[in-house]
Structure 1
Amino acid sequence: MSEQKLSMTKRRTYLVQMFYRYLLMDNDVNYIKQDILDETQEKLDVETTLIANNIAEKLSDLKNEIKKHLSSNWKWDRIPTYIQSVLIIGAYEIIFTPTPKAVTINELVNLVKENEVDFDYKFVNACLDKVIKL
């Protein structure tokens, strides 16, 4: 694992990329945790690795939390996989970290604007805004 601490922005970007890959491959939690341990140690700091494992553990609950906030004309499977990943990372950060909700939403909306230009970023903003911090 890297000794250097990642910035929050870089950490979010790595996490979105990681979980995008896991969702695309429809990996189960055990595979995800092993992959985090095996392949990402060189890029990730200890804190990012811990967060990635926590997200993997809570993946099903995070998906369910997001699904609760989707309008009736949106189904989980209809959402592009990259956006699913963004929503999962955002929901985790909103619910389980002290990061201000507005900061999390703003940075993830910017990621969507940069990487999924054909998707309406307002969807991500609205969905994450409905997630309640515990």
Structure 2
Amino acid sequence: MNQAEIASRRAARLGAVQALYQMEVSGASTADVIADFVAGKLPRETEATYTESEGDLELFKVLIEKAVERQATLDRAIARHLSKGWRLDRLDAVARAILRAGAAELEQQRDTPTAVVINEYVDIAKSFFEGPEPGFINAALDAAARDLRSGEQGA
């Protein structure tokens, strides 16, 4: 995969996180956020420096559509691995969006190695959080990957 393809996939992941957040806080529809992505409104370059290319529209669509369609399953896979006493709905909305996008990609994009998926979403978390959240997201996605990619070697 060349640098342009890597940047395109990163932009799609960041855009998916922003779209899932937007959907949760404003009630935007899947169609609304896909239109925003196509129009270049997602991801917003001011929020990350590596989104200099157009995003991978197909990856973006898969992440958004599957995160919405399979939200209950993905949320269960994430919630099972949260620390005792924590619930997914108690997390920051951005962290929730990162976890849902990451879980959707782990489940749906099996051709992308687990470590790559997790590292990408940890990097996104680092662009939004300066505290312990990236480490928490790393641990939660790593644990959820065992459920979402069960039977896959190295998951």
Name the TM tier (shorter chain): 0.7 to 0.9
Partner of 1:55: 67
Please state how far the C-alpha of 1:100 moved relative to its aligned partner: 0.7
Q: Could you tell me whether the CA contact under 8 Å between 1:36 and 1:49 is conserved in 2?
A: no
1:117 aligns with 2:118: no
Q: Please tell me the residue identity of whatever aligns with 1:65.
A: A
The farther-off stretch of 73-82 and 40-49 is: 40-49
Please state how far the C-alpha of 1:119 moved relative to its aligned partner: 4.1
Pick one of 72, 76, 86 that aligns with 1:64.
Answer: 76
Structure 2: stretches of 5+ with no match in the other structure? 41-54, 151-155
1:42 aligns with 2:39: yes
Pick one of 94, 104, 112 that aligns with 1:99.
Answer: 112
Partner of 1:22: 23
Structure 2 length-normalised TM: 0.70
Looking at structure 2, the residues matched to 55 and 35 of structure 1 have their Cα atoms a distance apart, in angstroms, of 15
Pick one of 142, 145, 150 that aligns with 1:129.
Answer: 142
Please state how far the C-alpha of 1:49 moved relative to its aligned partner: 2.7
Instruction: State the superposition RMSD in angstroms.
Output: 2.1
Structure 1: stretches of 5+ with no match in the other structure? none
Identical amino acids, percent of aligned pairs: 28
Q: SS at 1:69's partner residue?
A: coil
Q: Could you tell me whether the CA contact under 8 Å between 2:67 and 2:104 is conserved in 1?
A: yes
CA spacing shift, 1:62–1:42, aligned 2, 3 Å: same
Looking at structure 2, the residues matched to 119 and 126 of structure 1 have their Cα atoms a distance apart, in angstroms, of 11
Q: Which fold has the larger relative contact order, with Cα–Cα distance below 8 Å and residues 6 or more apart in sequence? A: 1
Q: SS at 1:7's partner residue?
A: helix
Q: Could you tell me whether the CA contact under 8 Å between 1:32 and 1:56 is conserved in 2?
A: no
